[in-house]
Structure formats: structure tokens, C-alpha cells
Structure 1
Amino acid sequence: MELRHLRAFVAVAEEKHFGRAADRLHMAQPPLSQQIRRLESELGVELLHRTTRKVELAPAGEVFLERARALLQDAEQAKEDAQRAARGEVGKLAVGFTGSATYALLPALAAALRQQLPGVELDLRGELLTPAQVQGLTEHTLDLALLRPPVKRRDLTIEVVVTEPLVAVLPQHHRLAERTEVPVEELKTEPFVAYPSHFRSVLHDAVEQTCAAHGFKPNVALEVAETATLVSFVAAGIGVSLVPLSVTRFAVVGAVYRPLAGDPTRVELALAYRHDDASPVLARALEIVRHALTTTGV
């Protein structure tokens, strides 16, 4: 059963006239009559009663008209769905965010993706360390990640989008909280709330390298994986820490952020995705995220 035969039948049934139906379909009347006869032959029933003056639906035609309209509507919807899928407007997308970028970027990027891809089912996961995101990408549980390089995987594309300095986060009543800038060496005797070492946190290494460049190894009082928890523990007076500038978007009562004196260490934020992923949804999401990142002010 061909769609063109269904369209021909519906046009004749609705116009009740072969000539008008042929005009509606932009075709000659003889081929239209042939299509109707072929459809009746295929079904083994008479769909139309024809006279020299008019065309009327046979009982079988009345039933078949309703089904034919539904089939044509389903076919048109299937066509539209396929075209939307090819444009990356429908499907699923799982996005991971490193903890230190969750609060600065996730709300803005989630809003942009939901607004521009309303037909895409989004799975947004915050507070993920870089190793967990790399694992998610390689295991196909994530499609896109915002993580901290370096990442040494040949199967992943790493696209640096932001470079930002480390800043100090201090308890509100800390002796250095009144400073406009904090010299890193002034933190030598302070207890640190640090990102975990055993998960190979990129920020853990960046903080250690910063301290080493100023002649000391941080005295780690506590290790935590989640940035929100880290800042909360600092606010509670457990220690101090160094975090990327974007974390300053996360306000916690009792914690203050201060720039580091001199030329502070800078860390990168990158988009990561499988470079053999040809998903149209991913391609559209990358366009949206790249554009949104230019307006976040990170």
C-alpha cells in the first residue's frame, strides 16, 4: 500500500470529484483514476461508487477514509520527527559538570539547552571529578563533560573554553580575610580543606603545585570531593582552601573569597566528548554551550 495511493483516495473522497481531486494533487485525472483502481484491487474492495455525475464513498470507503487519514498523519509526523532528529532537536543528552564549575555554569547552560532543545531529554550531573567524567564518557554514560584538563585520552576531544585563576577561600573571621589580596606563602601554617588526592583531582594537583612554588606543602586537615562541601567546611572554620575563580559564584555564609597576590596559578575548564560521536544532538548542544559560555562572564 503506497502513500501516494492513500493521498489520491483521500483527495477524491473529500472532493467527491475526480477533476477537483486531480487539480488538488497537481496531476492529470487519468493517472489519478488508475491509482484509485490499483488501491481497490490491492484491498479487494470497492471504495468509491462512481457515476457520470458524482463520486460517493462505498461503505468500505467510509471506514477506510478514517484510517487513511490517520496513516497519512502518522507518516507526516514520522517525517517531521526524522528531520528533527537529523537536526539534533530530539533525543537524549547526558552532561557532566566538574564540581568547581557546577555553580557558575550549570544553571546558565541548563537554561540555554532547555530553551533551545525542548525536545531533548537532558540528564545534567554536577559535582563530578575529572576522572569520573572521563570514565562516564568512555563508558557512554555521559555524552558531554565540562572538566579540568589535563586528560590524556586519544578517544576524547578536549576543547579548552575557560582559563581562570585560583583564589583563596577563607573563614569569614580569618586573620587574612581583611586583605584585598592573599599572599600564598601566608597560608603555609594554615590547615587546608583539599580536593581528594586518591581520586587524582586536577585541582588537588594545582593547589599542591601552587603551594610548592611558594616553598611549602599544604597541611591537609580534610579532603572532600564536592566543592559545596569544601566551601562549607571552610566556612565552619576547619581550614582554608584554594579554588577556581568561578567557585566565587557559590556564596556560603561564613566563607569569603580573596584574590591571590602576584601571578596566581590558572586552571583550565574544557569541553570533552568522544571524537567519534556523530550524534546530531551532541553537535547542536556543543553549538549552544559554546555560545552560552561566551556570555557567562566566568
Structure 2
Amino acid sequence: MDLRQLGYFVAVAEELHFGRAAERLHMAQPPLSQAIRSLEADLGTPLLHRTTRRVELTDAGRAYLQRARAILASVDAAAQEARLVAAGAIGHLAIGCVGSATYSVLPALSRRLAAELPGVDFSFRGEMLVPDQVEALRTGEIDVALLRPPIPDASLAISTLRHDRLVVALPTEHPLAGRRQISPAALRGVDLIVHSADRRSMMYDVVLRLAHDAGVEPRIRHEVGETSTLITLVAGGLGVAIVPEPVTALALDGVVYRPLTRPVTTVDLAVAHRADRGEPHLLRTVETIRAVV
């Protein structure tokens, strides 16, 4: 028994006529009749009742027809699924984002991915610190990350997407809020809100380096894990924060953003995944991220 025999049987069973079935299958009638007899011999029971005037299904033939149709449909579905997988059109991916990308990239990215890869099931994790993203990539908890280098990990494929300038987030009533731009030196004696050092935030090191280069001893009052919490505390008047410019998408009442003056400092935004992974739907997702960012 093989799939070709099943297809022959379904054609005869639906036409109830060997001649019409042969025409439908683009073959001669004798080999078709022989194939059906061979199938019946393999099964050990007749599937068709033949007379000189008509062809009818036996009870066994009617039952077998339902199964044969289901088998052929399943085979077709498997072939289609294989083609879609090869084309990167189906699958599942989890994407993790640093805080600034959560607000500036994720809304447009999620819409674009839904439009271009509707067969891929995406899940998203926002507000992830870079060390957590790296660990999640290693363990497979997430598949793709929008993060901020440097990442000293040769097991990851990392590609820079853009360079984001740094800005200062201030309470609207802060004495520095009236300035058009702010230098790092102006932050001397100012309460700072930063991402957590305990959770190894990359932005923590950036802020400290800026302060030290300007000869300023940073006065850190609050450390937080999430960018949204950081900006909320700024809105509450608890201090100021240095953040990547895309964070300005968080337009909370009580917060203003001012450019950081020269030297212009930027932090990179990159896309990363494990270097040993090359599934088509993952690579298509990375290309879509590039197009959006």
C-alpha cells in the first residue's frame, strides 16, 4: 500500500466509474484497475462492488474512503507546513526588549511582525535589563533581544541597529528644567535616579562614567530596575535621570526632557540572538526588526 494507491482509490470512490477516474488521474484504465485490486488484496477485503453497469462502495469501502481522505489531507498539510517552516512563515519566538526599546520600538514592531509574519506566534517581554536578556538568550527563555552592548559573549550574534543620544529627564519644577540643554557638570549636587547596580544595568555604568569624566561625584538617591519606574520617580520630583533619547516616548505629566550637551554621548541599540541558531522565521524576524528600527 502507498499514497498513490490511496489517491487512486479516492478518485474511483468519488467518481464511481473507472473510466472517469482514469481521466481525472491522467492515466489509462487498466493500470488503475490493477492498482485497486492490489490495494484490496493488501487489505484482505473488497472495497468496491463491480458490475458490468456500475461501481459501488462496499461498507468497508465507505469506511476506508473517510480514512483515506483524512490521510491524504494530512500529508498535504504536512507538506504545506514544511514549506512554510522553510520559508520562515510559521513558528514561535519570544522577543525581549530593554526599557527604552519597549516604548520606542515595540509598538511599531509588534504591528509589523503581525502583518508580515502572521503565522509566527510572537510573545514579548519588555523592561528587561541587559544581563537578564543575555541569560534568557542562553537558556532559550527568549529567542531575540533588543539590547544595549557591549556584550562580551561570543555565543551571541549581535548587530548594532542605531546610536541613541542621551538626554536628561527632569521634574518640570526642577531648577535645571528651564535650560535648553544640560551639561554633565551641571548635575553636581543633583539627586540622581539610576538603573540598579545590583542588577548589573549597563546604564548605571554609563551614568557613573559621565559624571566622573565631568569631575562630578554622583549623588545617587534611588536605584530602580524598570525604566517606567525611573521616569515615574522623576515625575514625582525625587530626582533627575540620564536616559537614552527613545525614553522620551514616555511622556508623563511632570517630566521634561533636555539634551545632554557636548561631548555628545550615545548608547547603541542592537539586536541579538544565539549564534548557533539560524531558523528561517528567526532570521526573518531579525530582518523585520532592522527594517522597523
TM-score class, shorter-chain normalisation, is: over 0.9
Partner in structure 1 of residue 37 of structure 2: 37
CA distance in 1, matches of 2:40, 2:89: 39
Q: Does 1:188 align with 2:188?
A: yes
Q: Give distance in 2, aligned partners of 1:14 and 1:93.
A: 43
Counterpart amino acid of residue 59 in structure 2: P
2:267 corresponds in structure 1 to 267
State the partner residue of 2:215. 215
Q: List aligned pairs for 1:95-110, cutoff 5 A.
A: 95-110=95-110
Native 8 Å contact 2:187 2:216 kept in 1: no
Percent identity, aligned pairs only, is 48
CA distance in 1, matches of 2:113, 2:222: 36
Cα displacement string for residues 167-200 of structure 1 (whole angstroms, at most 9, x for unaligned residues): 0100011112122111221111101001112222
Match of 1:291 in 2: 291
Give me the whole-angstrom Cα distance separating, in 2, the residues matched to 1:271 and 1:88.
Answer: 18
Give the SS at the match of 2:170.
strand
Aligned to 1:132, what secondary structure does the other structure show? Answer: helix
Matching of residues 144-155 of structure 1 within 5 Å: 144-155=144-155
Q: TM-score, normalised by structure 1?
A: 0.94
CA distance in 1, matches of 2:121, 2:195: 32
Following superposition, which runs of at least 4 residues in structure 1 exceed 3 angstroms of deviation?
Answer: none
Query: What is the alpha-carbon distance in structure 2 between the residues aligned to residue 100 and residue 42 of structure 1?
Result: 66
* 2:68 matches 1:63: no
CA distance in 2, matches of 1:224, 1:199: 9
Letter in 2 for 1:134: V
Q: Structure 1 stretch 270-279 or stretch 177-186: which is displaced more?
A: 177-186
| Aligned twin of 2:277 | 277
Instruction: State how far apart, in whole Å, the 2-side matches of 1:272 and 1:158 are.
Output: 4
Q: TM-score, normalised by structure 2?
A: 0.96
Is the 1:192–1:220 contact (alpha carbons within 8 Å) kept by the matching residues of 2?
yes
Give the letter for the 1:166 counterpart: L
The correspondence of residues 93-172 of structure 1 with structure 2, limited to 5 A, is: 93-172=93-172
Q: Which residue of 1 aligns with 2:229?
A: 229
Aligned match of 1:9: 9
Specify the alignment match of 2:238 in structure 1. 238
Which amino acid counterpart does residue 234 of structure 2 have in structure 1? V
1:203 deviation in Å? 1.0
1:52-87 Cα offsets, whole Å, 9 max, x none, are 333222222122212221221122122212222222
Aligned partner of 1:200 in structure 2 is 200
C-alpha separation in 1, matches of 2:44 and 2:231: 76
CA contact (8 A) 1:206 1:265 kept: no
Q: Distance in 2 between matches of 1:104 and 1:232?
A: 17
**How many residues are paired up?**
293
Q: Aligned partners of 1:239, 1:178: CA distance in 2, in Å?
A: 15
Across the aligned residues of Structure 1 and Structure 2, the Cα RMSD in angstroms comes to 1.4
Tell me if the contact between 1:137 and 1:143 (Cα under 8 Å) persists in the aligned partners: yes
CA apart distance, 1:226: 0.4
* CA distance in 1: counterparts of 2:48 and 2:20, whole angstroms: 15
Q: Is the counterpart of residue 54 in structure 1 residue 54 in structure 2?
A: yes
* Matched residue, 1:247: 247
User: Are 1:95 and 1:125, in contact at CA under 8 Å, matched by a contact in 2?
Assistant: yes
- Cα deviation, 1:246-274, whole Å, max 9, x if unaligned, reads 00011111111111122321000100101
Write the distance in 2 (CA, Å) between the matches of 1:153 and 1:50. 72
Shift of 1:111: 1.5
Amino acid at match of 2:32: L
Matched position secondary structure for 1:189: coil
- Post-superposition Cα deviations, 1:141-179, rounded to whole Å, max 9, x if no partner, equal 111000110000111011000101100100011112122
The SS at the match of 1:177 is helix
CA distance in 2 between counterparts of 1:258 and 1:26 reads 75
